[in-house]
């Protein structure tokens, strides 16, 4: 195994909201009564079925409650074993599924406040992503503006499968706000199930949805590049979370190949797609979709033409690795340092000062 080094940044942690009613203290009177009188209990997405093996590592499953719902479990299971200095919390709760823009907005605001009070305030190592009601861009921007005042929010979270492709201009005010506040857009695996989770229609089994995430990420990467998001917002960073990354070289080769023939259709794409990826897009480490063979992974990193693209993540509590084998075999020490420390700090501008502050404390 490759040993982690202390002081790393875990870019993909999933604190679980125990229950929809856990948001009640953070909702206004109207929405609190709506949840209660409508008898709403929980929003259950089929993205991570509770008993599916991927949803939680067996030794991370609590006796009762949802995996990842306990601050103590998260810090002792995900942070302490790896000497992690900073952990970025990406709450995955089915808020994005809600079709009512107003309800989604109220729930997102409550969830972000819950994250601050129940997690960020309780452990100085934790940082958060802003969950937004992306169906309503105005409300999404307002929520970014509201949360961005708290520097512990370091990212805006969106789903790999939402209502429309991420490159579409309707969403650009979200990117403008994110760029303005130095917040990367984190695109996490998952669907709001407003569209089928694959481009070919509805499957029958969870594995079909989960494996299809990679195609969703590929399509979103194409959309962001080709529709011109990075031409319009050159300082915007997009972080693909739980996306896998071993598909990147072959996929970008395909994108590059066809772009060369139709460059004039999107002349704002004035660089090869891989150059744009290198300057604007990053990928979380887990899951690593490659055989446990150091030479294979070494070749993939070589084909990615950069050691700056991958950011350390455990994907806690999802089951992507066993024991402390969070890093794939055979990573050289300088690459471990890049993945665990340098790359996340270069990506998340709001982590600046976090090290200094902790060193001084």
Partner 1 sequence: MARHVVAAVDDLPPGTRKFMTVDERPIAVFNINGEFFGLLNRCPHQGAALCEGPLIGLAQSSTPGEIEYTRLGEIIRCPWHGWEFDVRTGQSYCDPRRFRVKAYAAHVEAGASVVKGPYVAETLKVSVENDYVVVDL
Please report, as ranges, the residues that interact with partner 1 according to CB under 8 A: 169, 227-228, 231-232, 259-268, 270, 272
Q: How far is the CB of 225 from partner 1 (least distance, A)?
A: 11
Cα–Cα nearest to 91, from 316, 346, 324, 348: 316
H helices present in the chain, as ranges: 29-38, 71-74, 101-115, 137-148, 172-180, 206-226, 229-232, 248-261, 273-280, 294-304, 333-337, 343-347, 354-360
With respect to partner 1, which residue has the nearer C-beta, 130 or 274? Answer: 274
User: What does the DSSP 8-state code read for residue 171?
Assistant: G
Q: How far is the CB of 36 from partner 1 (least distance, A)?
A: 46
Distance CA(43)–CA(18), nearest Å, equals 11
Query: Tokens 């704002």 label which residue?
Result: 268
Q: How far is the CB of 179 from partner 1 (least distance, A)?
A: 15
Q: How far is the CB of 144 from partner 1 (least distance, A)?
A: 21
Report residue 216 CA to chain centroid gap: 14
With respect to partner 1, which residue has the nearer C-beta, 261 or 323? Answer: 261
- CA atoms within 13 Å, Cβ hemisphere of 221: 33
Q: How far is the CB of 227 from partner 1 (least distance, A)?
A: 7
User: What does the DSSP 8-state code read for residue 280?
Assistant: H
With respect to partner 1, which residue has the nearer C-beta, 253 or 268? Answer: 268
With respect to partner 1, which residue has the nearer C-beta, 230 or 312? Answer: 230
With respect to partner 1, which residue has the nearer C-beta, 30 or 258? Answer: 258
- The secondary element (H helix, E strand) that includes residue 86 is strand 86-89
């Amino acid at each position: 195994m490759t040993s982690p080094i202390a002081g790393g940044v875990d870019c993909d942690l999933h604190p679980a909201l125990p229950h929809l009613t856990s948001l009640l203290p953070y909702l206004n009177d109207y929405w609190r009564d709506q949840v209660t009188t409508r008898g709403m209990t929980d929003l259950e997405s089929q993205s991570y079925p509770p008993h599916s093996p991927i949803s939680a590592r067996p030794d991370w499953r609590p006796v009762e409650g949802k995996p990842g719902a306990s601050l103590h479990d998260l810090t002792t299971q995900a942070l302490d074993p790896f000497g992690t200095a900073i952990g970025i919390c990406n709450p995955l709760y089915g808020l994005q599924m809600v079709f009512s823009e107003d309800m989604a907005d109220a729930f997102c605001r409550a969830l972000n406040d819950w994250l601050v009070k129940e997690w960020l305030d309780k452990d100085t190592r934790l940082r958060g992503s802003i969950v937004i009601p992306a169906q309503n861009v105005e409300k999404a921007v307002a929520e970014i503006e509201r949360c961005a005042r708290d520097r512990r929010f370091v990212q805006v979270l969106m789903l790999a499968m939402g209502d429309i492709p991420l490159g579409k201009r309707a969403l650009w005010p979200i990117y403008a706000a994110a760029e303005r506040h130095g917040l990367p857009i984190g695109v996490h695996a998952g669907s709001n199930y407003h569209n089928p989770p694959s481009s070919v229609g509805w499957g029958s089994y969870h594995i079909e949805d989960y494996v299809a995430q990679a195609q969703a990420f590929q399509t979103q990467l194409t959309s962001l590049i080709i529709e011109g998001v990075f031409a319009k917002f050159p300082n915007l960073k997009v972080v693909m979370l739980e996306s896998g990354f071993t598909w990147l070289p072959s996929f970008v080769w395909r994108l590059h190949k066809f772009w060369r023939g139709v460059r004039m259709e999107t002349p704002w794409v004035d660089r090869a797609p891989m150059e744009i990826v290198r300057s604007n897009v990053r990928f979380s480490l887990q899951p690593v979709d490659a055989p446990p063979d150091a030479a294979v992974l070494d070749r993939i990193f070589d084909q990615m033409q950069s050691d700056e693209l991958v950011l350390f993540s455990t994907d806690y509590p999802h089951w992507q690795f066993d024991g402390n084998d969070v890093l794939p075999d055979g990573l050289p020490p300088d690459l471990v340092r890049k993945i665990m420390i340098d790359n996340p700090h270069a990506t998340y501008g709001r982590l600046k000062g976090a090290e200094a502050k902790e060193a001084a404390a």
